[in-house]
Amino acid sequence: MARKYSKAASKKVEKVMRERKEGTLKSGSGKKVKSRKQAIAIGLSEARKEGKKVPRKAKKATKKKAKRKS
């Protein structure tokens, strides 16, 4: 079975997680990142920008409002 993420992408996430632990990782707005999930998202995003093998983001499901007939 093919790998979902490349080793280079894993290394990128590992590096970002280390930065988060040290307290030097910052988000786009400049605030410190404390959340583990946010750190992983940043790592994957950076890996994606560098052209590493990372699956694209899943599209958000949109709710369709049912039109009420009266």
**pLDDT tens sequence across 10-62:** 999 999 999 999 999 999 999 999 999 999 999 999 999 999 999 887 777 76
pTM to 2 decimals?
0.73
Q: What's the CA gap between 8 and 30, in Å, rounded? A: 25
DSSP state of 26: B
Residues in contact with 15: Cβ distance below 8 Å, sequence separation at least 6, in sequence order: 43
pLDDT given for residue 3 in this prediction? 82
